[in-house]
Amino acid sequence: MVLAPKSRIALRLNAEPCDVAFAPHKTLLEVLREDLNLTGTKHGCELGECGTCTVLLDGRPVLSCLVLGLACDGHAVDTIEGLAGAGLHPLQTAFADLGAAQCGYCTPAFLLAAHALLAANPKPSRDDIKQALSGNLCRCTGYIKIYEAVELAAARLRGERAEPAPETLYGRR
């Protein structure tokens, strides 16, 4: 088999300029994982069904398994690797503290989808959260700790001094 010559694009990746060369048929998912070694973005089906490969393209959640790498030339891509600064992002802190990540495989995708939600809607209702995350499957948590973590992070991002309710962590009495 003859290998196709690589194509080269320039993008803003996690707020930094980046250029990368890759086989032109590759999806953004493959470019991130294989050509940029950013393995924080996961795959569950590579058919656009599970949401596990969600990244942000110009701030909007997209399924990176359905986006051609070439289509990202000149655009901004954010992955889980760019979410934390010197410390964890409030969403990450809340996910960690509440156990919203169990196996952790779908977690990067949920965090990015939630990040996009909070950017657009700083005070989402439970239903808003369910709708925003309805394209992401999680088999471990039953989603509840994820909702609670998003709500906690949203409150903290609004500057409120929020703490998880006792039943969130210890159950009902």
Interaction site with another protein (CB under 8 A): 1, 3, 33, 39-47, 49-50, 52, 79-81, 83-84, 88, 92, 95-99, 101-108, 111, 129-131, 133-145, 147, 167-173
Residues comprising the chain, all counted:
173
Are the beta carbons of 155 and 162 closer than 8 angstroms? yes
CA 35 vs CA 62, 79, 80: distances in Å: 19, 14, 16
Q: Kindly state the smallest distance separating residue 119's Cβ from another protein, in Å.
A: 18
Q: Which amino acid is at 78?
A: D
Q: Which amino acid is at 37?
A: N
In this complex, which beta carbon is closest to another protein, that of residue 74 or of residue 142? 142
In this complex, which beta carbon is closest to another protein, that of residue 74 or of residue 126? 126
Q: Kindly state the smallest distance separating residue 156's Cβ from another protein, in Å.
A: 15
In this complex, which beta carbon is closest to another protein, that of residue 6 or of residue 10? 6
Q: Kindly state the smallest distance separating residue 109's Cβ from another protein, in Å.
A: 9
Q: Kindly state the smallest distance separating residue 129's Cβ from another protein, in Å.
A: 8
- Helix pair 90-98, 107-120: axis angle to 10 deg: 130
> Quick count: other Cβ atoms within 10 Å of Cβ 16?
8
Measured CA to CA, the distance from residue 157 to residue 17 in angstroms comes to 27
Q: Kindly state the smallest distance separating residue 107's Cβ from another protein, in Å.
A: 5
Measured CA to CA, the distance from residue 96 to residue 149 in angstroms comes to 9
Dihedral-angle region of residue 167 (phi above 0 means left; psi in -120 to 50 means alpha; beta otherwise) = alpha
In this complex, which beta carbon is closest to another protein, that of residue 64 or of residue 107? 107
